[in-house]
Amino acid sequence: MEFEDCYLQVQRPKFDCLLFDLDDTLYPLSSGLATECRKNIEDYMVEKLGIDRSKIAQLGNLLYKNYGTTMAGLRAIGYDFDYDEYHSFVHGRLPYENLKPDPVLRHLLLSLPYRKIIFTNADKVHAAEALSRLGLEGCFEGIICFETLNPIHKNTVSDDEDDIEFVRLDNTADVNNTTTSTSSVIFDIIKHFDQPNPNSGLPKTPIVCKPSESAIERALKIANLIPQRTMFFDDSVRNIQAGKRVGLHTVLVGTSQRVKGADYALESIHNIREALPELWEVDRKSAEVDYPGKVAVETSVTA
């Protein structure tokens, strides 16, 4: 009996789940969506928030650098807006036709005998559209997205459990409360960093997103994952390094140059089998795992 227990322990696969970023990870940066997305964000800042276009480049860089996403930064410094409207404006005009079905990637994903989950800062509509265009329906168990990490509707915490099908954390209401009225005074982050010795007193954002370690930890709890048994694929160095600090095994996608915090580096997600052959070296009854039906956006995740 002891021998059998030892044998089973040795045979247990190293990973339980593969966690994948979406944009510029499952499809290349050359698709042009990132460039168009950035342009749409800038247009939103000018057209909807009334920000002077001459300040957009510097402001956008500071918000992205300090808050992870421009959206999170805008909310932090005092701009109030409807999240659904923002996402519709930013993603609604993207050239999705640039994304083509990727049968090679689909085969690779389906041949991986692990749980596979999308983890993106984007909203669920964008995630579903991108995965559909790539022909990756049924490849993932579920999607952890903006709505999953920020269970809100029209800037208020949702009381409708049907809105969020992932398990909600006990403390989401406090962290995600966005009902506070916008201050009449916008925090001048440009002026703040123009000071000779800017202090660290930046306002906090109510939005939860990568590369915040708390966002990654929340995603792990939602999906019931153990960080040491989870492999995380992302094109962002900051996200990868945050994942490593949380305890994930990390794969930087989009470059062959491995950086601090990345256990592996892939020029393309298509190189996954050559770079990580051990992922297939698992004795399972079925080497191909399929999830029937279309991509399940924010579907329930169980162990």
Separation CA 49–CA 174 (nearest Å): 26
| Separation of alpha carbons 251 and 54, rounded Å | 37
How confident is the model at residue 163, as a pLDDT? 35
pLDDT of residue 196: 81
17-31+101-151+187-288 CATH, one of 3.40.50.720, 3.10.580.10, 3.40.50.11820, 3.40.50.1000: 3.40.50.1000
Show me where the domains of the chain are located. Answer: 17-31+101-151+187-288
Positions in the chain whose pLDDT score sits under 70: 1-11, 152-184, 199-200, 283-303
Residue-level pLDDT at 173 = 32
